[in-house]
A = this chain, B = another copy of it.
Amino acid sequence: MNDAQLARALTEILGPRRVLCEPNQLHAYACDGYTAHQALPRAVVFPETTEEVAAVVKLLHDNDIPFLPRGAGTGLSGGAIPLNGEVIISLVRMNKLLSVDFDNLRAVVQPGLVNLTLTKRITGQGFYYAPDPSSQSVCTIGGNLAENAGGSHCLKYGVTTNHIVAAKFVLPDGSVMDLGTPYGDAPGYDLLGLVVGSEGTLGIATEITVRILKKPEGVKTALAMFDRVADASDTVSGIIGAGIIPAAIEMMDQLAMQAVDKSNYHVGYPADIEAVLLIEVDGLAAGVDEVMDRVVEICRRHHVRTVKVAQSEAERALWWSSRKMAFGATGRISPDYIVQDGVIPRTRLTEVLQRIAEISRKSGLRIANVFHAGDGNLHPLICYDSRIPGETEKAIQAGSAILKVCADVGGTITGEHGVGIEKLEEMRFMFSDDDLTAQLAVRSVFNPKDLCNRGKLIPQPSRCAEVRNARHIIEENWQIFGTFPEHARVMGPDEVGAQG
């Protein structure tokens, strides 16, 4: 099927106004929030119903044309980049809130509905949708499903997979399946759980049933400043150890605070404090004050310099803005930066931050740390200048080295940003060739022709060239950043040789 035939066939399904084929129209779809790689799609289409998605997918499937779904394009790992000249199926016109069942705490949405819009539409009745990625004012619930998105309040409320109970799902051959069940847990294998976080490689959700929650009656937010990072870390462990599950515990280090204080969200952090914690507790009005009193007491026990509880909604909003805009604020202190995303056990925080400082020192790059401390989800911001030859590569390698540390202490290489194309090689820090083979076998059940978002999420196992390449990157990191623990699961040179 040539381009003209394809355009005609797509137009037959969707009409001329919902099919883009001209190169000048396609440029906006060459990348997503991960800008390190760009590639033009073959076309972009805008279906409005499940039937239209299914018809488009069937056409592409029957003609062996690769395709991928796209939400708002805010993904940070390149999951929506058309590496193989895919037809992009944009879901932005499928943005309806289809129904709400307040009594049973469920809402049914189309995938293109913006995350925060759902909350805005039900806030009048006293409800909200809990997962709150920093991009929530623009990102879509379909994209959140694909990435298993997190957010500041995951500590108490869990990530996206804990909030999606059912979905209508177009398989890569154009057939439609119902996954999960709106009430109760579906029997049989948890295919819905498999699809959440599958980064668009198993098909396209076209109708999503989510849990909604009653808004908490009471919210209290504290800002606690520490002379030493170790005290801030110990405070986090102390709070959790006391049996308190705050709605959020966010941490920023000195460099991140400097960046934020240079931006429009001027909180006025003293220049000499090493770490700040933003701690929020919520729940029924009864008890919230007492819980916050205990949080404050735990901060004091760990040598906090100052701790304040927000006295107004404006004060609370300023503190949150300074946290949520921290990524962007890094632009004030560095021409370029990479936002990394890894997870570690909460108790290894101090030690891992020291390792990151070491990587910073050895690479000569500044690294700011902004993160969801309560659930150990780090976001190191690696500052670099792409105009200096070799510095971009050094920044990428420093990021990879940080993820290796996360994997080595029992954590993971991504908390909420996904693997996409960005972290394909780092998947080998966590998975053996056998593991990857099993993952690809599961993919092939859904996506046997590998037409749907090809090349994302799972790297190919046992390809010598790729493995050597990964080995090469890791060995460079070793040279730059020192040795890593013995139990690293990456193949050794002998094993590579044996497979060559």
CB < 8 Å neighbour of A290 from B126, B287, B415, B427: B287
Give A446 Cβ to nearest chain B Cβ, in Å. 8
List the B side residues contacting A198 at CB < 8 Å. Answer: 189
Question: For the complex, is A35 an interface residue (Cβ under 8 Å from B)?
Answer: no
CB < 8 Å neighbour of A284 from B126, B190, B290, B430: B290
Q: Is the CB of B438 within 8 A of A148?
A: no
Question: For the complex, is A22 an interface residue (Cβ under 8 Å from B)?
Answer: no
Q: Is the CB of A190 within 8 A of B196?
A: yes
Q: Is the CB of A182 within 8 A of B439?
A: no
How many Å lie between the Cα of A182 and that of B348 in the bound state? 13
Question: For the complex, is A105 an interface residue (Cβ under 8 Å from B)?
Answer: yes
Q: Is the CB of A443 within 8 A of B346?
A: no
List the B side residues contacting A3 at CB < 8 Å. Answer: none
List the B side residues contacting A202 at CB < 8 Å. Answer: 189
List the B side residues contacting A419 at CB < 8 Å. Answer: 187-188
Give A86 Cβ to nearest chain B Cβ, in Å. 20
How many Å lie between the Cα of A102 and that of B377 in the bound state? 19
Per-residue interface assignment for chain A, residues 399 to 430, with 1 indicating a CB less than 8 Å from any chain B CB and 0 otherwise: 00000000001111111001100010001001
Question: For the complex, is A243 an interface residue (Cβ under 8 Å from B)?
Answer: yes
Give A497 Cβ to nearest chain B Cβ, in Å. 23
Question: For the complex, is A146 an interface residue (Cβ under 8 Å from B)?
Answer: no
CB < 8 Å neighbour of A105 from B240, B377, B446: B240
Q: Is the CB of A189 within 8 A of B443?
A: yes
Question: For the complex, is A442 an interface residue (Cβ under 8 Å from B)?
Answer: yes
A188 and B410 contact, Cβ closer than 8 Å, known pairs A101-B345, A435-B178, A445-B442 = no
Give A192 Cβ to nearest chain B Cβ, in Å. 9
CB < 8 Å neighbour of A161 from B181, B190, B288, B413: B190
Give A83 Cβ to nearest chain B Cβ, in Å. 18
Question: For the complex, is A467 an interface residue (Cβ under 8 Å from B)?
Answer: no
Instruction: Look across to chain B and name the residue whose beta carbon is closest to the beta carbon of A290.
Output: B286
Question: For the complex, is A103 an interface residue (Cβ under 8 Å from B)?
Answer: yes
Q: Which of A198, A214, A215 has the most CB of B within 10 A?
A: A214
Question: For the complex, is A469 an interface residue (Cβ under 8 Å from B)?
Answer: no
Question: For the complex, is A28 an interface residue (Cβ under 8 Å from B)?
Answer: no
Interface residue tally of chain A, by bracket?
Answer: 35 or more
Q: Which of A178, A185, A290 has the most CB of B within 10 A?
A: A185
List the B side residues contacting A105 at CB < 8 Å. Answer: 240
Give A244 Cβ to nearest chain B Cβ, in Å. 7
CB < 8 Å neighbour of A412 from B126, B185, B214, B423: B185
Question: For the complex, is A20 an interface residue (Cβ under 8 Å from B)?
Answer: no
CB < 8 Å neighbour of A415 from B102, B185, B412: B185
List the B side residues contacting A442 at CB < 8 Å. Answer: 189, 191, 194, 442, 445
List the B side residues contacting A191 at CB < 8 Å. Answer: 194, 438-439, 442
List the B side residues contacting A148 at CB < 8 Å. Answer: 185
Question: For the complex, is A283 an interface residue (Cβ under 8 Å from B)?
Answer: yes
Q: Is the CB of B243 within 8 A of A214?
A: yes
Question: For the complex, is A392 an interface residue (Cβ under 8 Å from B)?
Answer: no
CB < 8 Å neighbour of A175 from B187, B343, B434: B434
Give A427 Cβ to nearest chain B Cβ, in Å. 7
Q: Is the CB of A457 within 8 A of B188?
A: yes
Instruction: Look across to chain B and name the residue whose beta carbon is closest to the beta carbon of A458.
Output: B188
Per-residue interface assignment for chain A, residues 80 to 115, with 1 indicating a CB less than 8 Å from any chain B CB and 0 otherwise: 000000000000000000000111110000000000
Q: Could you give 26 example pairs across A and B, Cβ below 8 Å?
A: A102-B241, A103-B237, A103-B346, A126-B243, A159-B185, A175-B434, A177-B434, A181-B411, A181-B430, A183-B343, A183-B410, A183-B411, A184-B344, A185-B197, A187-B419, A189-B197, A190-B196, A190-B197, A191-B194, A191-B438, A193-B193, A214-B242, A214-B243, A217-B243, A244-B284, A441-B445
